[in-house]
Structure formats: C-alpha cells, structure tokens
Structure 1
Amino acid sequence: MSPVVEAYAELAARILRRPARLGPTRLVAVDGPSGAGKTVFASRLAAALDAAPALDDTLRSADGPSTNPADGRNPPPDGRNPPPDGRNPPADGPKTPVDGPKTPADGPKTPVVHTDDLLDGWADQFTFWPRLEEWILAPLRAGRPARYRRYDWTRGRFGPDWTVVPPAPVVIVEGVSSARAVIAAELSLAVFVTAPARLCRDRTLARDGAALAPRLTVWRRGERAHFAADRTAERADLVVDGAAGPALEAAAFVRVR
C-alpha cells in the first residue's frame, strides 16, 4: 500500500476498541531498529491514548446508540437533563457531585516501558526477556501492578528504586525485540518503526556519542539478524516510517503498511 498520513488519535481509538490479551491490559509493542524513531512514536501514542475518551465511552460509540439513561445520552423519565457524570438527579434537584466529572487528565496515564531500561548491559541485547516477563508481563497478565528497576548505563548496574506500572487499559512496551514472536498472541497491537540504515546510524551516534560507534555497530548487526529470524516487520500490524516523523506535527505519523 502507499504511505498514508494517520492521526495518533485515530490509532488510539482503534487500540481501545481492540480486546485486551494480556489479562485486562491491551499490550502495545513498538519495535524496530535503534534510531528509527520508536521512542518518539511511543511517547506520542501514549499522549493520544491519555487524551482519548474514557474506555467505556469508546466502546459504546463503537456499539451504536444506547437506550440506557445511566450513560447520560438519554434524559431520565422525568425529562430533566442528567448531570455531566451521567447519574440521574436526586429528588431534591441536581447537585454537583463531590468528586466531579472524570476527564482524561483525571484518569491513569498510559505507561511506557522502555526495554533499554531492563537490559543488563550491552551483552543482554536479547536475553533480557525473562526479566521483562517476571517484572512486567506476569503481573499485568494477573491484573496486578508491575514494577521494574532501571538499568544505569553509566554505572553499569540496576538502580535501587522500583518504578511501578499500573494495570492500565493500555501499556506500551518500546524497544528492540519488544514485538518478538513469543509475545505475539498477547499483543493487542504490534508496531514496527523503520527508517533507512544510514539515518538510524546517524541518529544513534548523535544520541549516544561517537565513542560508542564500535558497540553500536555490533548492536545493529544483532538487530538485523534478530529481525530476519523473527520476521518482526512481516508480522507487525502496523509499519511506520520513522524517517518522516520529525517533519510531521506531533499529531500524525506516516503509515507504510
């Protein structure tokens, strides 16, 4: 198919209409080579999910009009308009709820887990997966909060503090091999962000420094071998042109497939 410009808001709505496959959570994997633009894509998608209508509203809009007055779209039998939170007014007249109507800003934020935070150094490029399973996937699968410690690449060890990941409606895992075949059945969406190899190299060198060029060369070689064996791009639900990202407004991306 020809490249298409698509809004992050549209993608967020589609994700929320998809079934949860990792327990109660819709797991989205954002995969692709280093420097392709995965982190930018994941952060913009998370922002769009945070701004999306409440999950139950999204599902109702997909199902069509409702006849239930409790959802706030039909007036109660006495003809009075319901308050913003959808509850019928009490007998002595409408009152402002104590907690107020819920807005997207009041709800839980969409967590983004970066696999680079879970690697135990350069040699752990693909062998970190048991740590991701233990710290993140298994708890979310059971509907419990997950937590992980971030790897400190300067000190060469994991930090002491734990970062909590709540069992939100959507959790994004971003990083190389995050959409590998072993997790495919539990993903609500697999995204592969791609860009020309030279651009990816230039971006990683600008980000990480020229001193790391030898390590990055080995890293990229490992990526290519993994993606070829795993067929990640071929299996992805969505392939994104990461080279076009900076030229677009933050509200849209270029869909390749």
Structure 2
Amino acid sequence: MSSAEVVLDLVRSRPPTLGEGRLLCIDGPAGSGKTTLASQVASAGGDAVVVHMDDLYEGWGGLAEVGAQLGTLLLPLAVGSSGSYRRWDWRLDGWAETVTIAPSSLLVLEGVGSGVSLFAALTTVLAWVEVPPELRLERGVARDGPGVAEHWAQWTHDEQAVFVRERTRERADVVLDGRVP
C-alpha cells in the first residue's frame, strides 16, 4: 500500500472535522516529500483541494508566525463557508492576491507548520513525513536552486523551533518515510 493510500484510508475512516469535509495536514521538515505526498493524495482523493504552506509564509522569515493566516482559511471552512488567505509572492518578495478556497470533501494543507496545535480540533489527520537531513538538503537545492543554501540553515533552525514548540511529530497520527512512494 502506498503512503497516499495509507493516509487516505485513515482520513476516510474518521468523521469530518472541517464542516462537512476533512482536513489532512501533511507536515515535516523541508525537503522530506510533503508536496509529493500531497499531490498523490489529491490525485487519488476525489475533489481534494491542496493548499501549500509556502504560499502563506511571509518569505524566508515567516515560519515563526505560521498559524497567523490559517484562521481566515480554516475557521470559515469549519462552518461550511469559503475560507481565504493572502498568497506570498516569492519572486516579488511581497503579498499578492487573496485566494479563496471553497468547502470540499478534503482539504490537504501541506507544508512545514501545517499541523499547528492551534487548529488541532479541525484536523482530521496529521501526517508527518521525514527523510535523512542530507537528502532534504539535496532535494531543497535541486528544487529551489543553489541560492537557497544561504537560507537553508536558518530555515531548518526555524522549523525545528516550530516542531519542538508544537510537538508536531509526537502528535502525528501517522509517520511516513518520504523515500517510500
């Protein structure tokens, strides 16, 4: 059984927590395979909608305030209304348009900090994805280019602080190896 199938089976076995829909948070360190898993879940998950946390951070330094925008997205969805968030434009280094997300049967929130405890009551399943640190760095540089190397050390420090504060891995419903499809 693939990781996506494992996660989807778990999600489907639980009652809705986000209005009439379910919320899957895919968290873990940068470069661990969260985006790949989210894509696989969305492909197999019917009308699943994926929101990438990269769109919600205020640049490289925005991780500490990771939960700030989640309220405007998740709280309206919890009562059956559309939610929204401001999208961060990494190329322009500034806030861009407001993105509206309509209720769906499955919202996949993917990225570092997606499993913040502030919204644990709305989370159907919290999945943690991990791989060895050297593979994470290799993937990150391959994905984002050599220019990210200068930001990587600070980002890994910031994400560790979030994971410790939130106890994300300990609270996860399932821990997955990001090297396994």
Match for residue 21 of structure 2 among 4, 13, 25: 25
Match of 1:95 in 2: none
SS across alignment from 1:22? coil
Q: Which has the larger radius of gyration?
A: 1
Q: Which letter does structure 2 place at the counterpart of 1:239?
A: V
Distance 1:175 1:216 in 2: 15
Cα contact 1:30–1:42 (8 A) shared by 2: yes
Match of 1:115 in 2: 53
Match for residue 144 of structure 1 among 81, 89, 95: 81
Distance 1:14 1:243 in 2: 20
Q: Alignment RMSD, CA only?
A: 1.7
Match of 1:237 in 2: 173
SS across alignment from 2:129? strand
What is the TM-score normalised by the length of structure 2? Answer: 0.91
Cα contact 1:196–1:243 (8 A) shared by 2: no
Q: Shift in Å at residue 8 of structure 1?
A: 3.1
Cα contact 1:143–1:167 (8 A) shared by 2: yes
Cα contact 1:9–1:49 (8 A) shared by 2: no
Match for residue 43 of structure 2 among 40, 47, 56: 47
Cα contact 2:3–2:180 (8 A) shared by 1: no
What is the TM-score normalised by the length of structure 1? Answer: 0.66
2:70 is the counterpart of 1:132: yes
The 1:210/1:25 distance shift into structure 2, 3 A limit, reads same
Q: Tell me the percent identity.
A: 35
Cα contact 1:195–1:243 (8 A) shared by 2: yes
SS across alignment from 1:126? helix
Structure 2: which 5+ runs fail to align? none
Q: Which letter does structure 1 place at the counterpart of 2:37?
A: F
Structure 1: which 5+ runs fail to align? 51-108, 246-257
Match of 1:166 in 2: 102
How many aligned positions are there?
A: 181
Q: Shift in Å at residue 172 of structure 1?
A: 0.7
More helix by share: 2
The 1:224/1:133 distance shift into structure 2, 3 A limit, reads same
Residues 97-126 of structure 1, C-alpha deviations (whole Å, 9 max, x = no match) = xxxxxxxxxxxx211011110112112113
Cα contact 2:24–2:123 (8 A) shared by 1: yes
Match for residue 199 of structure 1 among 108, 119, 135: 135
Residues 55-101 of structure 1, C-alpha deviations (whole Å, 9 max, x = no match) = xxxxxxxxxxxxxxxxxxxxxxxxxxxxxxxxxxxxxxxxxxxxxxx
2:11 is the counterpart of 1:15: yes
The 1:212/1:23 distance shift into structure 2, 3 A limit, reads same
Moved more, 195-204 or 177-186: 177-186
Distance 2:111 2:172 in 1: 14
Q: Shift in Å at residue 10 of structure 1?
A: 5.3
Cα contact 2:7–2:127 (8 A) shared by 1: no
Q: Shift in Å at residue 168 of structure 1?
A: 0.7
The 1:15/1:202 distance shift into structure 2, 3 A limit, reads same
